[in-house]
Amino acid sequence: MWNREKSIILSKLCVLLFMGLLAAVVVTAPWLTQWFVEFSQAGLAEKASYFMATIYVGSLPAAYLLYSLLKLLRQIEIGQVFTPKNVELLRRISWSCFVGAGMALISLLYYFPWFFLAVAAAFMGLIVRVVKNVVAQAVALKDEADYIV
Amino acid sequence: MPIVVNLDVMMAKRKISSGELAEKIGISPANLSILKTGKAKAIRFSTMEAICKALDCQPGDILEYQANQD
């Protein structure tokens, strides 16, 4: 039977999967980049180092985002849902998205398709920010409800 | 807050302990402590009714408005 605990476990597994994927991308970045510039046939050979720089620098906010996401899921798992700590974690996740979007925006100077990633990351950051605002309001309501006797 | 809770005064007058009152009115000792220390942001009519019944008093004996408090 599907329940809340199994749903959280599935979410944690997905986050761990993405962590593994990120680690694999970072480790294999030189080969991935080489393969991509050869595959694209768009004369990107001299830009391979830029791609690697984007991957390495971009992996930092991505790793921080995934770590924050895992911490958030742990909090939810122990029943701590509407807490200031979770609001802070959501804020970090949102800013990680915006930082990633900023990096992708800078990267479009040498490769335009990064623009689409920038827009997607910024949009994701915006959604998480709205969720953060909702949770912050819920924390305030819960705080008040806790003091109604 | 300019509303002062005089629950401890009434409890002393009626010679009733916190644990005993909490049990009589059906709230946890932690919640009664929140009420006694003035940390509560609101009180339900049902809780007030139970307190008044247990302490044989009026709501005005428990709550007091003091304009000079902030």
The DSSP output letter for B56 is T
CA distance B68 to chain A (A): 23
Please answer yes or no on whether B31 and A144 come within 8 Å at the CB atom.
no
Are B51 and B7 a contacting pair, CB within 8 Å? Answer: yes
Please answer yes or no on whether A147 and B34 come within 8 Å at the CB atom.
yes
Strand B3-5 to B63-65 pairing: antiparallel
Neighbours of A29 (CB within 10 A): 17
Neighbours of A53 (CB within 10 A): 17
Neighbours of A14 (CB within 10 A): 12
DSSP helix/strand/coil, A148 = strand
Mean pLDDT of A72-77: 95
Please answer yes or no on whether B34 and A144 come within 8 Å at the CB atom.
no
DSSP helix/strand/coil, A64 = helix
Angle between the B18-25 and B45-55 helix axes, to the nearest 10 degrees? 120
pLDDT at position A3 is 86
Residues 88-147 of A with CB under 8 A from B: 144, 147
Exposure of A35 by Cβ count < 10 A (0-12 exposed, 13-18 middle, 19+ buried)? exposed
pLDDT digits (tens, 9 = 90+) for B4-53: 999 999 999 999 999 999 999 999 999 999 999 988 989 999 999 999 99
Q: Is the pLDDT of residue B69 over 60?
A: no
Collect all residues of chain B within an 8 Å Cβ-Cβ radius of residue A149: 27, 31-32, 34-35, 40, 42-44, 47
pLDDT digits (tens, 9 = 90+) for A56-66: 999 999 999 99
Residue of B nearest to A144 (CA): B41
The DSSP output letter for B4 is E
CA distance A149 to chain B (A): 5
Residue of A nearest to B44 (CA): A149
pLDDT digits (tens, 9 = 90+) for A90-123: 999 999 999 999 999 999 999 999 999 999 999 9
- What CA–CA distances, in Å, run from A64 to A84, B7, B31? 19, 50, 39
pLDDT at position B70 is 54
Beta bridge mates, B42: A148
pLDDT digits (tens, 9 = 90+) for A15-62: 999 999 999 999 999 999 989 888 887 777 788 899 999 999 999 999
What gap in Å lies between CA A44 and CA A56, rounded to an integer? 18
CA distance B27 to chain A (A): 8
- The token pair at B31 is 């919640």
Are B18 and B36 a contacting pair, CB within 8 Å? Answer: yes
